[in-house]
Amino acid sequence: MRCFTLNIRERASMDLYFLEGAKKRPLVIVVPGGGYVTVCDEEKTAIKYNAAGYHAAVLRYSVAPDLFPEALFDLAEAVAAVRNNSDTWKTDKVFLCGFSAGGHLCANLATLWNRSSLFGDRQDIRPDGCILMSAVLTKKLDHCRDFLDKLAVKDGYKDLVACDMMVNEGTPPAFMCGTYEDSLGNFRNSFYYAEALGKYNIPFELHIFPKGEHGAPQYDDTIWSLPPDRKPVQRGYRMIDLSVEWINEMCYNI
């Protein structure tokens, strides 16, 4: 494996994890959560995607005091870096995997990449698909609206952070996971986003599992699996494994 860090913008960088070989592979950019005030550690998730046969990366994006659209610009340039180095890095498709606020950021780019007022005319920043884990995606829920309004303080930006309202014909497909018990990334976020995708005939996959509050570890912190001595006995939800199956279906039509 080959690993290195790439500076993206002034306050953003990307840790890259490349598998060896001449074969071109999809690359998954993992976008951690942290409420836009910090960036959590998601190296284990990148390694999990490596184990599935993909190149992977972890984005360290701008957080407070920076506000929208700084983190959005960070992610856009990260996608562009992968696109523009596809021959050197042996990559083809680019997928995003975001958790919580990171999931919002992924859906934000998925719905705004073709907005000329933000990006002009660019094709190199469009992801091929988004994996959204317990993501905040709507303003239809009071606590989510409060969170997103604090992110976009300028009047001209306030609507742009409501991802379900920004879905358009250019939005890529999505894979969404959440839990019924999650009070912050309420499962209705995914429902509203899925409904918007459906209006444009954009494919999606959606899983809502019963257990687990927002950010509660359903898996071992190191290897993304349940330890054998976990008490009480609890089934694994296989969220990353399911997303791998979805990517394979997207890429190889299996």
- pLDDT tens digits, 133-156: 999 999 999 999 999 999 998 888
Predicted pLDDT of residue 228: 57
Q: Which CATH class is domain 2-252?
A: alpha beta
According to DSSP H, which parts of the chain are helical? 43-51, 70-84, 86-89, 101-112, 116-119, 142-151, 163-166, 188-199, 239-252
Band (pLDDT 50/70/90 cuts) for residue 232 is low
Percent of residues, the chain, with pLDDT higher than 70: 91
**What's the chain's average pLDDT?**
92
**What mean pLDDT comes out for the span 91-98?**
97
Band (pLDDT 50/70/90 cuts) for residue 17 is very high
Predicted pLDDT of residue 45: 93
Q: In what order do the strands lie in the sheet with 2-9?
A: 2-9, 12-18, 55-60, 25-31, 91-99, 129-133, 174-179, 204-209
Percent of residues, the chain, with pLDDT higher than 90: 83
CA triplet 167, 173, 178: central angle to 5 degrees? 90
**Sign of torsion, CA 137 140 144 149?**
positive
- 236, amino acid identity: G
**Is 161:151 a contact under the CB 8 Å cutoff?**
yes
85 alpha carbon, distance to own chain's centre: 21
Tell me the C-alpha distance between 60 and 41, whole Å. 9
φ and ψ at residue 246, rounded to 5 degrees:
-65, -45
- 143, amino acid identity: H
For residue 164, pLDDT beyond 70 = yes
Predicted pLDDT of residue 246: 97
**What mean pLDDT comes out for the span 102-111?**
98
Residue 224 Ramachandran class (φ > 0 left, ψ -120 to 50 alpha, else beta):
left
Give the model confidence (pLDDT) of 208-224 as tens digits: 999 888 776 555 554 55
What's the whole-model pTM score? 0.94
**What mean pLDDT comes out for the span 20-38?**
95
- Domain borders along the chain are 2-252
Predicted pLDDT of residue 197: 98
**Is 221:44 a contact under the CB 8 Å cutoff?**
yes
**Is 78:29 a contact under the CB 8 Å cutoff?**
yes
Look at 32-46, 100-114, 226-240 and tell me which has the smallest mean pLDDT.
226-240
Look at 25-29, 68-72, 99-103, 182-186 and tell me which has the smallest mean pLDDT.
182-186
Band (pLDDT 50/70/90 cuts) for residue 183 is confident
SS3 231: coil
